[in-house]
Every structure is written in structure tokens, then in C-alpha cells.
Structure 1
Amino acid sequence: MHKKIKKVLFISIPLILLFCFLLLIFIKSTVRKEFQLTFDADYYWTRKSYDDSLWFYEEVPAGFEYYLYIPPEYRNDRHNEDAKLPLIVTFHGSNDKYSSRGKFGRMLIAPELQNVKKCAVLCLHSRGDYFLTATT
């Protein structure tokens, strides 16, 4: 009787261990850990940007370009609650799309206007003729 039990145990224990090992491999290969990534939209979605000290330029993947002017004394006040400025937005979408910064943007950042009331100016440029065709 003892020999039968030993024989059964001798065969069944390795089979149980083999089964557990195969089960563990199966579970490990099918169950995956959650993929962890920190997401910074500015890093992933911005294609080009530069700061020419007067205008901040950025091009986004949708094809839109924009120039943002912030008065120099407010440029580094991102976390200052008292540094709230009005924002003037200009849109331009014809084939001479860069004229919005030239005509309107420079006019709105002129010292004569900025001395009356400081304001930020955002010049949006379309991709192609998007603004022109959307408004006609």
C-alpha cells in the first residue's frame, strides 16, 4: 500500500508542478501590466515653436500656426493671478496669411496702444484658406 501511495505521489507531484508552471507561463503571457506614460500635450502635439522675444510662434499638427504677443513685463507671470490681461485675437486665412501679424498684430502691439492698456495679442493663421472659405 505504501508503495502505491509513493508511486502516485511520485507521478502526481511533478505533474501538478508542471501544470502550475505552464499555467503561470500562460497567465504571464496573456495578462499585461497597464502601460504607464506621463502625457504632456505640449510635448507630443506641438511640431514647431520658437520665441523671438517679441512674439511666441507655434505650429500645431492640425496645420494652424499662431503668434502670441504678451507684454514683456507679464511674460513670466504665468502663475501670478494678478497678471490678467485682455486678449485680442486676429484671424487671417487668405493666401497672404502672414499679413495678420504684419497688419493687425504690429498695429495692436504699438506703444501708443499698449501704453493705454496692456493687452496680449494672438494672431491665428489658417492652414490654406480655411478661415477665408469658412467665413464667405
Structure 2
Amino acid sequence: EEVVGHFLDEEDPENETLVKEVYAILNDLIKEEVRRLIADEKIRPDGRKVDEIRPLESEVGLLPRAHGSGLFTRGQTQALSVLTLGALGDYQLIDGLGPEVEKRFMHHYNFPNFSVGETGPVRAPGRREIGHGALG
């Protein structure tokens, strides 16, 4: 943005197409350089070698009021897991096309789009979250 802003007025409607073209060219150059670094020099964008993994860490018992909790960290990615137990009579009735089913295990799963390099607004859970949450 700084480079484009230095040479072009992004607010000028006459420059709209040119600004888009410049961004597309810059994006292509970045992709080529990242690919070259990985393929030729065997270095990832974060400086790791291609055969190195990010450091792994884990902690348990982070949330004292939950029955169980844990934080898993790999590099800059984190996952917080929380467990709460209920009594035998605590269940969810699943009212589908067939007979009612009692579901005692529920897994709520939140997978924000930015965690996989996607963009866009954060909305209700998608098919991925619902599918993974239904594994139990």
C-alpha cells in the first residue's frame, strides 16, 4: 500500500484499474519470491528450514472452574480446549426424522477463517466446524 500510495493516488477513480493491476503484479512477485525461497533456498517465509517444525508447547489446568482445560501452542497457532462434565441426566435430545436420540457428548468447535489463511467476516459455524463437532 505504501509503494502504491507513493506513486498513485488510490482515491482517484481514474487510477482504479491501474491500482488493481499494480496490486496484482506485486502479489505475483511476492508469490514467486516465496516459492523461490522454499524451492531453491529451502527457507520458509518465517525463516524456518523446510524440514523444521514450529516449537510445540502445551499447558493444562488453565481454567480453574472447568473440569479440564488445556492450551496447545505450535508456533503462533493456539488451540484452547475446555471440558465440562454433566450428570447422567444431562443430555441433548436430537429430534430428527427418526426416533429421538439422546446425545451425551457435545463438541463445540470454532475454526476462524484467519487461522487457515482465508479472509472474510467471522460468521456462524460452517460445514467444517459442524462436521468436526459431530465426530463425537
Structure possessing the higher radius of gyration over alpha carbons? 1
Instruction: Give me the TM-score of the superposition, normalised by structure 1.
Output: 0.25
Higher-RCO chain (CA-CA 8 Å, sequence separation at least 6): 1
Instruction: Give me the TM-score of the superposition, normalised by structure 2.
Output: 0.25
Q: Which one has a larger percent helix, Structure 1 or Structure 2?
A: 1
